[in-house]
Amino acid sequence: MLPCCKNPEYALEHLELSITADGHETPILTLATYEALGDATRTGLQVALARRADNALAALTPQQQAIARRVLLRLIQFGEGHVDTRRQQPVAALVAATDDQERFEATLHYLAEQRLLVLSSAQGASNGQWAAVADLAHEVLINCWPTLQQWVAARREAEQTRRHLASKVQEWILLGREQGGLLDAAELPEAERWLHSPDAAALGYDADLLALVQSSRAALDAHIRDARSYRPPPATTRYVVECGADASTGGRCTCRSIWSGGTLQPRPR
């Protein structure tokens, strides 16, 4: 069983899960019993973890299940050409703008009690302050829990879009929420489409993203209005009259007008 456990500190807990799976009441787990828990692609431990996770979700209300899906997805680092891994996140980064705070906190602590995630504290790299963080309790959940795998398959691309937009929000905040951090004419429509999509409702977004999109739209609309109302100033014509006489004109006086760098044909006088 130990080769299935990447985190040795969870070995005893994994053992308990395997013993109690399928109502196995005896404290003794034989190799045959353990192997019987598995299926064609998963070990007995992996099956036990997946079943426990499904049972934990089933006890939640529909609203809490939606929060749990969102939180667990945010705690996965999508591998680019590699396997997906755990992704530790500040608890504050897991809250959505539409969340009921009490419901969110109750759901988060329930998931921790059910050993689906771990809550701890970590010191921020940028400000040095300590903050609550969350992490998946078992990386094996990513590979052995079919329910979670289905969520990842359905929402991977949309969640990557959400994370990209979240990074734009952080840039905007670091720049003091000024013009320099606003979304440009290409980025803004993408953000607006995402905010009005079913993915946004399922994955959630924070209030700062909404503020960034609204500020970007206001700035872009103002720029368009200014461009449409712009009228170039009328061209100013500057005339310079030169008079003189030379041999080519038979001693007659000639005048010519010079304007805007151009020269009119001489007009005899």
CB distance 215 to 107 below 8 Å: no
For residue 169, give Cα distances in angstroms to 36, 183, 210, 216. Answer: 49, 9, 9, 11
Three-class SS of residue 227? helix
Placement of tokens 């041999």 in the chain: 247
Three-class SS of residue 267? strand
Placement of tokens 């329930």 in the chain: 110
Assign residue 85 a region: left if phi > 0, alpha if psi is -120 to 50, beta otherwise?
Answer: beta
Confidence of residue 80 (pLDDT cuts 50, 70, 90): confident
Cite the DSSP H helix spans in 41-91.
44-58, 62-74
Burial (Cβ within 10 Å: 0-12, 13-18, ≥19) of residue 21: buried
Within the chain, all domains assigned CATH 1.10.10 are found at 60-142
CATH number listed for the domain at residues 60-142: 1.10.10
Measured from the Cβ of residue 14, the count of other Cβ atoms closer than 10 Å reads 23
* Percent of the chain clearing pLDDT 70 (strictly above): 70
Report the range of poorest mean pLDDT among 62-71, 143-152, 220-229, 239-248: 239-248
Report the range of poorest mean pLDDT among 55-64, 114-123, 149-158: 114-123
Digit-coded pLDDT (tens) for 168-217: 999 999 999 988 899 999 999 999 999 999 999 999 999 999 999 999 99
Assess whether pLDDT exceeds 70 at residue 257: no
Strands 240-245 and 130-136: unpaired
CB distance 249 to 242 below 8 Å: no
Q: Determine the pLDDT at residue 155.
A: 95
CB distance 172 to 181 below 8 Å: yes
Instruction: Estimate to the nearest angstrom the gap between the alpha carbon of 141 and the chain centroid.
Output: 23
Minimal CA–CA distance to 18: which of 40, 43, 45? Answer: 45
Helices (H) and strands (E) in the chain, counts: 10, 9
CB distance 2 to 14 below 8 Å: no
Placement of tokens 């996965």 in the chain: 76
Assess whether pLDDT exceeds 70 at residue 110: yes
Q: Determine the pLDDT at residue 263.
A: 47
Burial (Cβ within 10 Å: 0-12, 13-18, ≥19) of residue 13: middle
